[in-house]
């Protein structure tokens, strides 16, 4: 979220000013083109490029403040206090006074706890269907019943089989906390991991979390995280007098990566995405553009402070991040603005598989032509 620009010095040799003497900073591409013409030469304005004003060209800083609680939160806390009160108290403990423009990111687990979404497994009565499927795929039938209720299954991964391969074992031992028994941890890896399409993303096990839940309990995701964020924003405004945009975060595993990352599953009070499709780039070329997922970028930054185990930091306050207010009156609202249109995800998977197969066939058929390629090889 930091915005920076490189400027080229005028003939006097001082970087940062344009040759017209008006104090404007030039864009990165102006710098690059000037450097190609011989180092710190006088830069000329490139008409196809936009000059950056000083306040947007200077490097920007942002701060992330962890909002820590004094003890682990339990379901009984929801009966005596509110999440907004807990966060306001955490701000006071961190000596942070909220200001206009600040953003609060909060873990979906603590939001769910205060909405009564922490469930005692012994109170769940699994259906016959859930019991059969749980037996086939080595799942707790009570948890599987909740998974069936919360979201459609998109895919499942044979996690235990993959984790026991030699390369996977080495990676597991490398990622394990120093001095802890990795064999015991490996034994708790489930046979299959299910992925569900929910809240404009794909979450493992429908987002149902046993970690950091009281013994015998699991925590389900909020039913409508955007509505949860909106209610929390209103409650915090009554307590602090400041309208703070809220992002509800959850943890997921990026495809192709080892490890986890926080992303947004709900928000309120800010535009979730930068709307810069089909703009011109630094060299004046029209590109498909930039649709940076603002809420996910913020969630990932907050997640680095909040942690996932024993940090007792269920929220973070971020200051200095530029954002636009939330749009109203649009055809799609909430996380629907970021989701594939209904049916598109399945179609995209099928067309991707078909296109990949077609390419692989063409690649194999053209393999004999490799020896007759002309010209020097690419570096």
Indicate which CATH number applies to the domain containing 146.
3.90.1660.10
347 part of a folded domain: no
pLDDT band at 140 (very low <50, low <70, confident <90, very high): very high
Please, which residues bridge with residue 159 across strands?
Answer: none
The residue among 341 and 96 whose pLDDT is bigger is: 96
Q: Is 284 found in the same domain as 187?
A: no
133 part of a folded domain: yes
3-state DSSP: the chain helix, strand, coil percent, rounded to 5?
35, 15, 45
Confidence at residue 6, expressed as pLDDT on a 0 to 100 scale: 28
356 part of a folded domain: no
Average pLDDT over residues 128-144: 93
pLDDT band at 155 (very low <50, low <70, confident <90, very high): confident
Report the SS3 class of residue 251: strand
Q: How far apart are CA 245 and CA 249, in angstroms?
A: 13
Confidence at residue 277, expressed as pLDDT on a 0 to 100 scale: 80
The residue among 44 and 82 whose pLDDT is bigger is: 82
Q: How far apart are CA 296 and CA 78, in angstroms?
A: 27
Burial group, residue 297, by CB count within 10 angstroms (0-12, 13-18, 19+): middle
End position of a domain, from candidates 311, 327, 343: 327
User: Lowest-pLDDT range, 9-23, 110-124, 242-256, 326-340?
Assistant: 9-23
353 part of a folded domain: no
Q: Is 230 found in the same domain as 205?
A: no
Q: Is 110 found in the same domain as 245?
A: yes
Q: How far apart are CA 228 and CA 225, in angstroms?
A: 5
Q: Is 97 found in the same domain as 237?
A: yes
Q: Is 182 found in the same domain as 106?
A: no
Please, which residues bridge with residue 195 across strands?
Answer: 155, 204
End position of a domain, from candidates 289, 312, 327: 327
Q: Which residue segment(s) compose the domain that 4 sits in?
A: 1-60
pLDDT band at 254 (very low <50, low <70, confident <90, very high): confident
Q: Measure the CA angle with vertex 8, ends 5 and 14; round to 5°.
A: 115
26 part of a folded domain: yes
Cβ–Cβ contacts within 10 Å for residue 245, how many?
A: 23
Q: Is 39 found in the same domain as 161?
A: no
Q: Is 241 found in the same domain as 212?
A: no
Q: Is the pLDDT of residue 28 over 70?
A: no
Sheet strand arrangement including 246-252: 63-67, 315-319, 103-107, 246-252, 261-268
Q: Is 215 found in the same domain as 122?
A: yes
Cβ–Cβ contacts within 10 Å for residue 207, how many?
A: 25
pLDDT band at 282 (very low <50, low <70, confident <90, very high): confident
pTM of the model: 0.75
The total of structural domains in the chain comes to 3
Q: Is 247 found in the same domain as 179?
A: no
Q: Are 207 and 155 in contact (CB under 8 A)?
A: no
Average pLDDT over residues 329-346: 79
Confidence at residue 25, expressed as pLDDT on a 0 to 100 scale: 38
Q: Is the pLDDT of residue 262 over 90?
A: yes
138 part of a folded domain: yes
135 part of a folded domain: yes
Q: Are 301 and 267 in contact (CB under 8 A)?
A: no
Dihedral (Cα; 67, 73, 75, 78), 10-degree rounding: -40
pLDDT band at 51 (very low <50, low <70, confident <90, very high): very low
Q: What is the CATH number of the domain that holds 274?
A: 3.30.1330.100
Q: Is 34 found in the same domain as 11?
A: yes
Confidence at residue 126, expressed as pLDDT on a 0 to 100 scale: 95
15 part of a folded domain: yes
User: Lowest-pLDDT range, 20-29, 114-123, 224-233, 302-311?
Assistant: 20-29
pLDDT band at 96 (very low <50, low <70, confident <90, very high): very high
Report the SS3 class of residue 63: strand
Residue given tokens 């809420």 in the structure block: 295
End position of a domain, from candidates 220, 247, 280: 220
Q: Is 226 found in the same domain as 135?
A: no
Cβ–Cβ contacts within 10 Å for residue 13, how many?
A: 7
Q: Is 242 found in the same domain as 195?
A: no
């Amino acid at each position: 979220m930091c915005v920076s620009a490189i400027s080229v010095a005028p003939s006097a040799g001082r970087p940062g000013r344009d040759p017209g003497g008006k104090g404007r900073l030039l864009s990165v591409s102006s710098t690059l083109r000037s450097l190609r013409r011989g180092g710190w030469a006088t830069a000329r304005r490139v008409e196809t490029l936009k000059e950056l004003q000083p306040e947007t060209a200077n490097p920007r800083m942002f701060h992330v403040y962890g909002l820590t609680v004094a003890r682990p939160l339990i379901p009984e806390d929801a009966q005596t206090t509110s999440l907004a009160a807990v966060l306001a108290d955490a701000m006071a403990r961190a000596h942070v006074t909220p200001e206009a423009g600040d953003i609060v990111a909060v873990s979906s687990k603590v939001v769910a706890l205060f909405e009564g979404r922490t469930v005692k497994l012994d109170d769940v009565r699994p259906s016959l269907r859930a019991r059969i499927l749980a037996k086939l795929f080595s799942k707790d039938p009570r948890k599987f019943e909740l998974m069936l209720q919360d979201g459609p299954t998109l895919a499942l991964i044979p996690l235990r089989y993959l984790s026991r391969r030699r390369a996977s074992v080495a990676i597991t031992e490398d990622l394990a906390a120093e001095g802890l028994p990795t064999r015991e941890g490996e034994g708790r890896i489930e046979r299959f991991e299910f992925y569900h399409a929910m809240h404009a993303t794909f979450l493992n096990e429908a987002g149902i979390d046993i970690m950091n839940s009281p013994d015998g309990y699991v925590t389900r995701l909020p039913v409508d995280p955007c509505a949860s964020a909106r209610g929390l924003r209103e409650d915090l405004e009554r307590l602090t007098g400041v309208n703070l945009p809220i992002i509800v975060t959850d943890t997921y595993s990026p495809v192709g990566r080892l490890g986890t990352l926080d992303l947004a599953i709900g928000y309120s009070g800010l535009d979730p995405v930068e709307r810069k499709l089909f703009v011109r780039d630094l060299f004046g070329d029209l590109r498909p553009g930039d649709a940076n997922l603002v809420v996910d970028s913020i969630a990932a930054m907050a997640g680095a402070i909040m942690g996932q185990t024993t940090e007792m930091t269920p929220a973070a306050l971020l200051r200095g991040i530029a954002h636009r207010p939330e749009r109203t009156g649009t055809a799609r609202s909430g996380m629907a603005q970021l989701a594939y249109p209904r049916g598109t995800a399945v179609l995209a998977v099928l067309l991707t598989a078909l296109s990949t197969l077609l390419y692989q066939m063409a690649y194999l058929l053209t393999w004999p032509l490799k020896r007759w390629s002309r010209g020097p090889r690419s570096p």
